[in-house]
Amino acid sequence: MRPLGLIPLIVLLSTPARAAEVPWRGLGPGLEFRLMKADGGGPAARKGPSAIAVLRADPARWRLDLFHQGEPAAGGRGRDAAAWQQHTGATVILNASQYYPDLKPMGLFYKQGRNLGTRLLPKWKGMLVGEPQPGGAPRVTILDLDREPFPADRSPFQVALQSFMLLDRGGHKRVRRSDWHASRSAAAIDRQGRLLLLHTEGAWTLWDLADWLARSDLEVRDAMAMDGGFEAQICVRAGGFEYLSFGGWHVDDRGDHSLPGLRVKLPGVLALFPR
């Protein structure tokens, strides 16, 4: 999430889809969507809608990729999640991790042997990796760098995205308590090895989101945060189904900066394609 003064005012009015919580909806082989409610006295949104969109993908059928405006094919242009979907043809787009004012990703943003981000950040312990060379590694997983090293100079994975952990396989929350609340996006791996991409329609603290993940029926093994606030965006388009949501909530120690309906350009995203 960039400092507020650096956010471009590129605005298109849009509101996230609204629906009551429903069971998993199949969008294609190995791809499911669910809009979950966070009610009932547990962790919940501090502002805005309580719904959390969850996309669940079988890595045997869905391929993970990364895109950044610094790649030649992107033409040096950032885009919101919907425009990235149109540009790439991906079925699913989720915003990637945080970035610097020059739009360079914070931490590793590794794609096909090239790092479009910075060096490995020692304090960030999450690494979403995918598309390994043959040899038995999972097609998509989250590495906890406290337990598993990531050899950036000889990575077996074609894509790798660094951020910070929310929840680990021991059930421990890996974030601090804070009153800051904002729109959130996250990636997780469940105990069956499936990839979960999540987006909150309302404003959550990181601690509450990690707590909700631990209490949910999603069977989360590892989870890591993506960027939050106005940059938290998701676009799902599969057949006749469409779900779009753009982060409009941001409350920190300087005040409430929320602007529901704001759509900002993202320099980088992660994407899912059918194999």
* Predicted local confidence at residue 37, as pLDDT: 87
CA-closest candidate to residue 138, choices 128, 125, 147, 152? 128
State residue 179 phi and psi, 5-degree precision. -90, -5
Residue 39 corresponds to which tokens in the numbers above? 């009610």
Measuring CA to CA, how many Å separate 205 from each of 42, 166, 175, 177?
A: 13, 11, 10, 8
Evaluate if pTM is beyond 0.85. yes
- Rounded CA-CA distance 52/64 in Å is 21
What parts of the chain have a pLDDT lower than 70? Answer: 1-21, 39-41
Where do the domains of the chain lie?
27-274
pLDDT at position 209 is 97
- pLDDT value, residue 151: 85
Q: What is the pLDDT of residue 80?
A: 98
Rounded CA separation 24/21 (Å) = 9
Round to whole Å and give the CA distance between 200 and 242.
16
